[in-house]
A and B are shown apart, each in its own frame.
Chain A
């Protein structure tokens, strides 16, 4: 087996059995990044020396029998997770020189568990986008076909896993930003329940929607990472005070009939969404059959407010963004325009030069929707619709264990195809936004390929804090369809 093919599970075994060293593994991956990342563009920052230093320390720990869950395993991080001493740009010029003075909670947890941070991945600026084309640094291409986008906003993380530059990665998901790129790149992406994972040290976009989660080569690795990053944190008052189960238990004594007795709901509203690509429909129907064959009962359900999800989301998220991004004012950190007349002029010139067009567009939408006279009609109403969407999900989960759907209406699109049409881009988020609006967990698992060879995933969503159901169903599905060992030739 090549170094680059290793999952977290494989790597741990070989490292802990002393068959390979972390230095060898990390060096091999760095070599692969050097060779191919000019074309893929998955990383914004790779600190080779720092990674090798961590690898050497891990090797020492292993020889001292001081072994933790991820000792010596190379992991990539989306570049909006604060890493002490490593530049964290959020894909934005406004943070081009920003070096965090502390680690985000998930980063601390990875480090405490011995992980090697191999690099920081490209993304849509401040996580606003579905294609990673909104990065101020570079275009990330889809490792399966360089003419296509990897999805977004965690496109760099998904591409890094698909290109086998790391054992696994972390992304963040505000409206699908883990699940959609995972689907487009043929890897597994899990958005945990809102509150499952601390957001401390995640640069906020939509604080009521953001969650950090794993992007991995298989479902088991997603459970391994979720075990590590989950849990209440006193630094994030929205992190939930609920017990964290051992998620890898989802795979214990897994038999052929282990999914028997589970019920999957298929929302009738999802099936009548305009513009579902026939190839996505075909893969989805095949997936349904596979789950049925595994003993899952398929049931029609209804999420009556589906038609309003995109509209409500594209008020709530920009409103939260306009408030969160006000902090980048040129005073405390980041870029500052000094050629200005006064303080207000400094703010304006700093932000206008520092933020890209999509970020400015969302700040303006949010500011408009929150401005005097419009608040009730937009933010107020969208928040009421959000209540209805949450109720839709609560009702649905009374009769099914998980909801099955496509991840995106179509496979990855060509680079540049939608860049000038923000609304069309927003509409492609239809299947993923609801999980963030309702705070429920969702997973994307590879399920097939388009005729052009682009990966297509399926999504499962479960009730809050029931990631276990997603991991079980996802694992059963993965074991049957066996796409987890398939990666593109670079």
Chain B
């Protein structure tokens, strides 16, 4: 699989990343190189094989629905880069 610089731009947008123009060519080459290697998965016969998402026990984990004290905004928002009292501040969303 060969990845073009346009595709890098497109995927980067989906990932909410901004790749510097000067780095796009290098990123496209490295990705192509990695994906070419990954293409070897095509040689595995996976007909009828189920998907595995890991080695966790696939049981449902339940707990009692009990009221507990929340840590509160001072703790929850302690690391907020920008806040206005109990609110996070983000750039304007509604124009």
Contacts and interface: CB of A to CB of B under 8 A. Distances in A.
Interface string A67-103: 0000000000000000000000000000001110110
Contacts of B69: none
A342 B34 CA distance: 33
A332 B79 CA distance: 7
Contacts of A338: 82
B19 A352 contact: yes
B67 interface: no
A422 B15 contact: no
Contact of B82 (A336, A364, A380): A336
Contacts of A365: 31, 34-35
A4 to B, nearest CB: 35
Nearest to B95: A342
Interface stretch (A158-166, A250-258, A271-279, A304-312): A304-312
Given A365-B31, A371-B14, A384 B51 contact: yes
B12 A364 contact: yes
A131 interface: no
B44 A208 contact: no
A386 interface: yes
Which secondary structure characterizes the binding site on chain B? loop
Given A308-B40, A385-B46, A101 B57 contact: no
Contact of A367 (B11, B18, B88): B11
Given A331-B88, A364-B12, A311 B38 contact: yes
A308 B41 contact: yes
A340 interface: yes
A383 B11 contact: no
Interface in B52-95: 52-57, 61, 63, 71, 75-76, 78-82, 88, 90-93
Interface in B1-49: 3, 7-8, 11-20, 27, 30-31, 33-35, 37-42, 44, 46, 49
Interface stretch (A49-57, A149-157, A175-183, A236-244): A236-244
B49 A388 contact: yes
Most buried by A among B8, B34, B35, B90: B34
Contacts of B63: 234
Contact of A364 (B17, B49, B56, B80): B17
A330 B54 contact: no
Contacts of B82: 336, 338
B21 to A, nearest CB: 12
A87 B35 CA distance: 36
A349 interface: yes
A384 B93 contact: no
Given A352-B19, A363-B17, A343 B12 contact: no
Interface residues of A, number: 75
A364 to B, nearest CB: 5
Interface in A339-354: 340-349, 351-352
B31 A208 contact: no
Interface residues of B, number: 51
Nearest to A318: B34
A96 to B, nearest CB: 11
Contacts of A381: 41-42, 44, 46
B16 A348 contact: yes
A445 interface: no
A367 B80 contact: no
Contact of A348 (B17, B40, B44): B17
Contacts of A195: 55-57
A335 interface: yes
A449 interface: no
A357 B7 CA distance: 18
B53 A208 contact: yes
Contacts of A426: 34
A401 to B, nearest CB: 19
B11 A368 contact: yes
Contact of B38 (A314, A335, A364): A314
A101 B71 contact: yes
Contacts of A312: 41
A351 B17 contact: yes
Contacts of A194: 54-56
Contacts of B88: 331-332
Contact of B81 (A334, A366, A371): A334
B92 to A, nearest CB: 7
Contact of A208 (B3, B7, B46, B54): B54
A142 B38 CA distance: 31
Contacts of B15: 322, 351, 363-364, 366-367
A361 B30 CA distance: 9
B40 A311 contact: yes
Interface of A: 97-99, 101-102, 193-195, 207-209, 234, 237-238, 240-241, 305, 307-308, 310-312, 314-315, 322, 326, 329-336, 338, 340-349, 351-352, 355, 360-361, 363-368, 371, 378, 380-388, 390, 422-423, 426, 438-440, 464
17 contacts: A101-B79, A194-B55, A194-B56, A208-B55, A312-B41, A330-B81, A345-B91, A360-B17, A367-B11, A367-B14, A367-B15, A378-B41, A383-B51, A384-B49, A390-B55, A438-B55, A439-B55
Give me the 6 closest cross-chain CB pairs, A-B, nearest first. A439-B55, A208-B54, A333-B79, A336-B81, A383-B51, A237-B61
